[in-house]
A and B are shown apart, each in its own frame.
Chain A
Amino acid sequence: GQNIDQPTEMTATEGAIVQINCTYQTSGFNGLFWYQQHAGEAPTFLSYNVLDGLEEKGRFSSFLSRSKGYSYLLLKELQMKDSASYLCAAMDSNYQLIWGAGTKLIIKP
């Protein structure tokens, strides 16, 4: 079956760095997405990886290892506004997104 695993909740301190891990098992693979979702709002796109390696975009970076079925989202210089849920989604061979349950990130001052 198809499955996405990510931690349920993480806590970090303002100004610090946090890494949110995601492992996936899908029928075929066409890329890995990360979305941010604030409570009561729709998800917003953060990153898309289809090749192995690290993609850096400002304070956020995303890493992919296709051989390991593994990705992580790295958030640097954490700000209070980064408190949100972070959703990992893998695209299968039918170009359908398989969603993880999301990681709730709590930022403390």
Chain B
Amino acid sequence: GAVVSQHPSRVICKSGTSVKIECRSLDFQATTMFWYRQFPKQSLMLMATSNEGSKATYEQGVEKDKFLINHASLTLSTLTVTSAHPEDSSFYICSARSGGDSYEQYFGPGTRLTVT
């Protein structure tokens, strides 16, 4: 149980275009979802936290107008990278938490974004 999927797994886009990444909890309801970014050989960097039905809370330094997060249902959250630039190339990982007494985060497989 507790499976999280992400789509796409890899995407290459041209500079200036927008890319949408989907994160789904397949067998549980995710009250909270997290979006992380990870550059090579570095640790996870939390970008934002989203609760179903409410606006995402962004970490300091993360542009909310550039990284649009929507958590419209208990099983789906999306991250849209708008007007992507080469410096946005990274590994984007989502995780989900079911809430209640469980604080474990279940991670999706990640999305490798390359902006050319």
Question: Could you list which residues of chain A lie within 8 angstroms of chain B, going by C-beta atoms?
Answer: 30-31, 33, 35, 40-45, 48, 87, 91, 95-97, 99-102
Contact = CB atoms under 8 A, between A and B. Distances in A.
A41 B110 contact: yes
A95 B103 contact: yes
Interface residues of B, number: 16
Contact of B43 (A40, A45, A87, A95): A87
Contact of B46 (A35, A41, A97): A97
A42 B107 contact: yes
6 contacts: A30-B103, A40-B91, A42-B107, A48-B104, A99-B43, A102-B43
Interface string B29-67: 000000000000011101001000000000000000000
Contacts of A42: 93, 107-110
Contacts of B93: 42-43
A41 B103 contact: no
Contacts of A87: 43-44
Contacts, number: 40
Contact of A45 (B42, B44, B106): B106
Nearest to B94: A42
Given A35-B107, A40-B112, 14 more contacts: A33-B104, A33-B105, A41-B109, A41-B110, A42-B107, A43-B44, A43-B107, A45-B107, A48-B104, A96-B46, A96-B49, A99-B46, A101-B42, A102-B43
A12 B60 CA distance: 38
A97 B43 CA distance: 12
Nearest to B45: A99
A99 B38 CA distance: 12
Contacts of A30: 103
Scoring A33, A40, A97 by chain B CB atoms within 10 A of each residue's CB, the highest score goes to A97
Nearest to A44: B107
Contact of B105 (A40, A97, A100, A102): A97
A100 B109 contact: no
Nearest to B43: A101
